[in-house]
A and B are shown apart, each in its own frame.
Chain A
Amino acid sequence: MPTAKRTERRLRWAWLALAGLLLLAALSLLFWRTTGLGRDRTWEHILAAGQWRVGLDPSFPPFEALDAAGQPIGFDVDLARAIAATWGVEVQFEGLGFDGLVDAVQTGRLESAISALPYQPERTQDVAFSPAYFEAGLVLVTPAGDKLEAGAAVGAGAVGSLDDLAGRRLAVEWGSEGDVQARLLRRRFPDLVLLPEDTPQAALLAVAEGQADAALVDHISALQASAADPRLAISPEVIVSDPYVIVLPRKAPELQRQVSTALQTLQADGTLDALMAHWFGPTPTE
């Protein structure tokens, strides 16, 4: 067979294959649209009902608790309402034990869960997680006058980051994750003096009263203490991260997108900062 003819024949087959593929794609799209397989029914239900069904365990103030009238209050409650407001819907809260919240979203009993829940990588096949809206991990708290930017050179008595801990007195809650991390730090700084206290509040008080150079505690305790005591400042470096996220149904891509967008909006317009200030007091690192 002459070469030109063979090339022409191959080209014809290639065009036919391309046309077949295009036809298949069009038919798939048509099927997807007409059968509703590609729709986010959770998001459609939220819009149609004008309500977002959100689960929480109201036993963890200041994130969620019940007021005297038995109504949910807290940072997460306000956050859920702020997100819903960007969509023009109300929030219907449902109380549930925190251990059952993720399962309740997975099974469709809840449309979301906002309840100071940490990111759970093992559950990503069951549910989806929003970007973090709160960092609850370990932070260093230092005397306010000694506050330095992370990594900056320090003078005597000043602690800005982990690198500055050599020879310092570090207060922790005995047995806590901060205690574990501090014991690990002592391998790096053998002259680090650990001051174990019964509670994170006691560890923070030791800093405020000059008995410790820094405390390694969870961000929630740090925020609460530093808001109430101007002698304390939170170092901006997060030592061990523990982000809180919103739990969402896995097969709700539009709801996931809308929650992410809403969080970005609330961050950009200052709503998240206002909520932090309302529930924890002014953030002393700012």
Chain B
Amino acid sequence: MSRPSFYARIAAGAAFVSRRRGLLLKLLMLAALAALISLPPRPLVTVGPQQTVSTINPKLGVHTRLTDEVEEWKIKRTLEMVRAMGAPWIVEYFPWAYVEPDRPGQGLWQHSDMVIQHASAQGLEVIARLGFAPQWARPKDTSPLYLDEEHYAAFGDYVYEFVRRYRDQVNYIIIWNEPNLSLEWGYRPVDPAGYTRMLQVAYTRAKEANPAVQVLGGALAPTLAPPGSEWGMDDLHYLQAMYDAGAAPYFDILAAHAYGGKFAPDEPAAPDAINFARIELLRAIMVANGDEAKPIMITEGGWNDHPRWTRAVRPGQRISYTLRAFQKALEEWPWVDVVALWAFRYPAPARTYQDYFTFVTPDFQTKAIYLETQRYAHGQEN
């Protein structure tokens, strides 16, 4: 075998160096690509600068429906529109089962964080509605609205964690929703004493986490259910039964639902009528039980303008009743702190009469009720 010539060896060496340089270049490019990929993505939606709500009525509020809203820009847009309407208060639902779906202390807070950060940035005061039991906290084949007393402590832990986590941002929490309806009490006979025990556990744990947090109890559905009804209990009877069970020390504010049905907000309250002024009867029960110092917050309510629903009013009536309701609370009900009406916007159309409770369509089209409320809140004459 003949030896390669000197020049051939030089050429082979140069080729080797060239191949290595090419390999090095490729490796460098790969490393740069890997570094680019591993960089955290730039956020598509930012919280933005701190805003404030401009309004002539500091009691004005809405119940938002962001629980099932996935996209952050939609959450932000919704809350921007609430602020722009002139409502400083929102009620929002933070289901326990969404945060701890599989086990206690699981802590999936991402969605709650997102909602509360954006609400705070828009200058909105959040009233957080807590409830909705995860599967692990209730028997098989029960609804998420079922919670037996054995698991009140677990619910109390969730309340504690929620209040602790948001102690600088959330000052109001509602414990459960409409417990005077069988449907909302896990399809069981309603139980004011049982709800009072739940309230006691939740209140105690909430105050442990943040003594300043205000706990709202009740959130009763206005209903004329007769005694012994399988569907529920008259809200007036239920509230008295709560007091009888010793609920007074375990809530700071009564949450009330005030739906007007077909009646104007000035329609007088009566025990056999469901109308907006029915909360005056709840107030009377509070006073009779020595609880007159506690305020009421309306955390659901309003009018519906569906063309076919039997309990709906005309769109123009809905506007005038709604504005009058805000003004009535401001002028005549010093014991009402908030009027948060149902519901600002749904993530998707319900395609039922429920769509006609909203102020804004799922695709953010403002309804006339939104524009008129905005005009009212900014002190503009109609």
Contacts and interface: CB of A to CB of B under 8 A. Distances in A.
Contacts, number: 51
Interface in A107-137: 116, 120, 122-123
B316 A175 contact: yes
A247 B371 CA distance: 35
A120 B318 CA distance: 25
Interface residues of B, number: 21
Interface string A142-176: 00000000000000000000000000000001111
A175 B351 contact: no
A196 B310 contact: no
A175 B368 contact: yes
A174 B352 contact: no
Interface string A83-126: 00000000000000011001000000000000010001011000
Nearest to A98: B308
B314 A199 contact: yes
Contacts of A41: none
Contacts of A59: 308, 310
Contact of B315 (A60, A123, A173): A173
B349 A174 contact: no
B372 interface: yes
B314 to A, nearest CB: 6
B316 A173 contact: yes
B348 A175 contact: no
Nearest to A197: B316
Interface in B299-320: 305, 308, 310, 314-319
A122 B315 CA distance: 25
Interface residues of A, number: 21
Nearest to A100: B352
A159 B349 CA distance: 34
Interface in A192-235: 196-199
A218 B353 CA distance: 18
Contacts of B353: 99
A76 interface: no
A54 to B, nearest CB: 18
A59 B366 CA distance: 29
Contacts of A173: 314-316
Interface in B308-339: 308, 310, 314-319
Contacts of A102: 351
Given A175-B369, A180-B367, A196 B351 contact: no
B351 A183 contact: no
Nearest to A182: B368
B365 interface: yes
A99 B309 CA distance: 9
Given A175-B305, A196-B316, A180 B351 contact: no
Q: Most chain-A CB neighbours within 10 Å: which of B305, B314, B319, B349?
A: B314
B218 to A, nearest CB: 28
Given A120-B351, A122-B349, A123-B351, A179 B310 contact: no
Contacts of A179: 315, 368
Contacts of A99: 352-353
A185 B168 CA distance: 44
A151 to B, nearest CB: 26
A59 B306 CA distance: 13
A60 B306 CA distance: 12
Interface string A45-85: 00000000000010110000000000000000000000000
Contact of A175 (B318, B349, B352, B365): B318
Nearest to B369: A175
Nearest to A63: B308
A176 B368 contact: yes
B316 A122 contact: no
Contacts of B371: 183
Given A173-B316, A174-B316, A175-B318, A183 B368 contact: yes
A204 to B, nearest CB: 15
B308 A180 contact: no
Contacts of B349: 120, 122
A122 B349 CA distance: 8
A135 to B, nearest CB: 15
Given A99-B352, A123-B351, A175-B305, A198 B314 contact: yes
Nearest to B353: A99
A174 B371 CA distance: 12
B253 to A, nearest CB: 32
A198 B316 contact: yes
Q: Most chain-A CB neighbours within 10 Å: which of B308, B319, B372?
A: B308
A123 B371 CA distance: 30
Given A120-B351, A174-B315, 16 more contacts: A57-B308, A60-B308, A98-B308, A102-B351, A120-B349, A122-B348, A123-B351, A173-B314, A175-B315, A175-B368, A176-B315, A176-B368, A180-B365, A180-B366, A180-B367, A199-B314
Top 8 A-B pairs, shortest CB-CB distance: A175-B315, A174-B316, A175-B368, A99-B352, A175-B316, A176-B315, A175-B319, A179-B368
12 contacts: A59-B308, A59-B310, A174-B315, A174-B316, A175-B305, A175-B368, A180-B365, A180-B366, A180-B367, A183-B368, A196-B316, A197-B316
